[in-house]
């Protein structure tokens, strides 16, 4: 079955540590997105990528980094510069054309130890 896989489901970060969240899709989608969701809030865009080897900052990119070396993969690194990383992180993809909706992964809950 095609879909988006995020791992791990739960992740804990120590002070000063960088952590990487994985996002893999087998939908052959060109566009991929990372969102952050805080409790009781909507989704805020961190980074997005329309094609391989290209990505753009979203509204809250500070303290995060991404790469898009392969069409299927769009990992997100939460760096030590992100002082308030505790949140639910969602990865999504779309075909990048027409009226295509976003398809979401199941999310990663990141907490600080």
Residues near other proteins, by CB under 8 A = 31, 33, 35, 40-45, 48, 50, 56, 58, 88, 90, 92, 94, 96, 99, 101-102, 104-107, 109
CB of 9 to other proteins, least distance (A): 10
Q: Which residues pair with 86 in a beta bridge?
A: none
Least distance from other proteins to the Cβ atom of residue 69, Å: 19
Q: Of the two residues 11 and 80, which places its CB atom closer to other proteins in the complex? A: 11
CA dist 79 and 48 (Å) reads 17
C-alpha–C-alpha distance, residues 33 and 41, integer Å = 18
Q: Rounded to the nearest whole angstrom, what is the least distance from the CB of residue 91 to other proteins in the complex? A: 9
- Residue with smaller CB distance to other proteins, 17 or 28: 28
Residue 92 CB, shortest distance to other proteins, in Å, is: 8
Please report the DSSP string for 35-94 in residue order.
EEE-TT--EEEEEEEEETTEEEE-TT-TTEEE--SBTTB--EEE-TT-S---EEEEEEEE
């Amino acid at each position: 079955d095609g879909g988006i896989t995020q791992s791990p489901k739960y992740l804990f970060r120590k002070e000063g540590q960088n952590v990487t969240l994985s996002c893999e899709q087998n939908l052959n989608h060109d566009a991929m997105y990372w969102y952050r969701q805080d409790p009781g809030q909507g989704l805020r865009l961190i980074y997005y990528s329309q094609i391989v080897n290209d990505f753009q900052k979203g509204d809250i990119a500070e303290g995060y980094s991404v790469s898009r070396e392969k069409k299927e993969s769009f990992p997100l690194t939460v760096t030590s510069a992100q002082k308030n990383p505790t949140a639910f992180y969602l990865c999504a993809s779309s075909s990048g054309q027409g009226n295509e909706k976003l398809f979401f992964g199941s999310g990663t809950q990141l907490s600080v130890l």
